[in-house]
Structure 1
Amino acid sequence: MAEDNNKEKIDQESLSRRKFLRNSGFAVGGLAVGGVLGSVIPWGTDEKEPQQAANETKNYNHALMNFNQVEFQTVEAATERIFPEDENGPGAQALGVAFYIDHQLAGSYGFNARDYMNPPFFHGEKTQGYQGRLKRREIFKIGIREMQNYSHSKYKKGFTDLTADEQDTVLADFADDKVNITTVSASGFFNLLRSMTLEGVYSDPLYGGNKDMQGWKLRDYPGDQMNYTQVIESEEFQQIEPRSLRDHMQ
């Protein structure tokens, strides 16, 4: 009889404890999401299938760190004309090239951290590259603004509102130094834009571009392989699935 009373008392205490945990979870307004408390709160939501959850995964690497929205859209449109989508595969926009450029300009590369930036400055030959006090991120700010100004002057529309052929004309005029810019060279800005576009297409996806390694796949490039011991003795061409730097962390 005493054993039955003890068992009943234990069951009541257990139920009371579970009730307390459940109520306290609601009382703290969802702070008890994880751990033990989170596991006993009946949220009333259906669990998502693994595939559905995977499809909803966000790419947090695609976030702006330097450009504003207008600047980003301008760069995105310009890079797409430099490396357009065609029957061979995706273009710069689908590959996330504008994000690559944005991230590079937000870091040490954009601040010319490893370059000698002290005067005197001389106007060098084209083969000598840029010599001046402006940092790459500043050159881009000026170049993007001048692209918009030139587009409005020539077509009465912003660069992103132009047709593909009109955008090509604007970019070609910059490349040929047909645009008057007092602070930077028009061709210098275009060459920097073109160079960074190609970098974004073929760099490791870790840096924001080359989304899903599609740029590498266009050229059958294997990416960052740890070794080739499994194919080095093969006499036939081996198609190797590309790997990113991030893949080595898994």
Structure 2
Amino acid sequence: MSKEQPKAPESQSRRQFLKYSGTAIGGAIVGGVIGGAIAANRKNNTAKTPEGQTAETPTKNYSQALMYFTQDQFDTTEAASERIFPKDDLGPGAKELGVAYFIDHQLASQWGNNGKEYMIGPFIKGEPTQGNYPSIKRHDLFTHGLKALQDTSQSKYQKAFQELAPEQQDELLGLFEKGEQVTVTGGTAQQFFNLLKNFTIEGVYSDPLYGGNKDMQGWKMRNYPGNQMSYTEIMAKDQFVKIEPASLHDHMTAH
């Protein structure tokens, strides 16, 4: 049974509430397209400066490649996730953290395709305590939700969603959150919004191997150590020990 989350003070940003509520790390799903992500090698190349000194030049991040989205779908997702987890004085937002790439990789995976789930009807409406069994695959629901978001934006403002002012984007996302005045093929507006919200938080705090949490900045904002091999050296210490976070990728390249 999930615990009720604390109510955020009005003076806090939405992201500050998520940061301290404890919901983000606990709800993160670590799964997806590992094969393409493993190809990302974050070792640095070296180059010669005009003075002949050696300088580090970062390589390209090959995990930032689209596997499912069209460019327009990616841009819409990037803009929507940024409104759910916006950049502020606490740190980077969803766009800077690469959340849209995380979502793209998840939708391209077996999880996005409901590959290991029974998807044949009949689909009977569940009781309020049960919920409804999904009759549409996650990647299809997300695709239809993005289309509905763009259609609603064009109808209301005659602009693409990513071209709207932040206040207008929040207004449209609010309609989806409440399920008002919006129709999503194969599902509901609330189902799409909840999927988008969960995806966003997971992308902020999942291992960078899966496309989001760029440079482990999501973890660093929470002083979360990531995937450490051992804590034996600090277990007996009374004081708090701040550890530089480590990704699964770090352990892979170390062996």
Question: Unmatched 5+ residue regions in structure 2?
Answer: 1-46
Aligned position for 1:176: 178
Aligned position for 2:10: none
Residues 1:200 and 2:203 are matched in the alignment? yes
Distance 1:91 1:127 in 2: 34
Quote the offset at 1:131 in angstroms.
2.4
Matches within 5 A, 1:4-19: none
Distance 2:62 2:147 in 1: 27
Quote the offset at 1:136 in angstroms.
0.6
Larger helix proportion, structure 1 or 2?
Answer: 1
Distance 1:52 1:145 in 2: 46
Aligned position for 2:233: 230
- Map Cα deviations across residues 221-244 of structure 1 (whole Å, 9 max, x no partner): 000011111111111110111000
Contact map agreement 1:224 1:243 (CA 8 A) in 2: yes
Aligned position for 2:30: none
Pick one of 134, 138, 145 that aligns with 2:147.
145
Identity %: 53
Pick one of 76, 79, 82 that aligns with 2:81.
79
Pick one of 147, 155, 174 that aligns with 2:157.
155
Pick one of 229, 245, 249 that aligns with 1:246.
249
Give, as a single letter, the amino acid of the residue that structure 2 aligns with 1:161: E
Q: Provide closer, same or farther for how the CA distance between residues 166 and 219 of structure 1 changes in structure 2, counting only shifts above 3 A.
A: same
Contact map agreement 1:122 1:132 (CA 8 A) in 2: no
Question: Unmatched 5+ residue regions in structure 1?
Answer: 1-46
Quote the offset at 1:166 in angstroms.
0.4
226-235 or 199-208, which moves further after superposition? 226-235
Quote the offset at 1:128 in angstroms.
3.6
Bigger radius of gyration among the two: 1
- Map Cα deviations across residues 93-115 of structure 1 (whole Å, 9 max, x no partner): 00000000000110111110122
TM norm structure 1: 0.77
- Map Cα deviations across residues 120-174 of structure 1 (whole Å, 9 max, x no partner): 0123356544523311110111000000000111111110111000000110100
Higher relative contact order (CA 8 A, sep 6+): 2
SS in 2 for 1:201: helix
Distance 2:154 2:190 in 1: 19
Give, as a single letter, the amino acid of the residue that structure 2 aligns with 1:156: Q
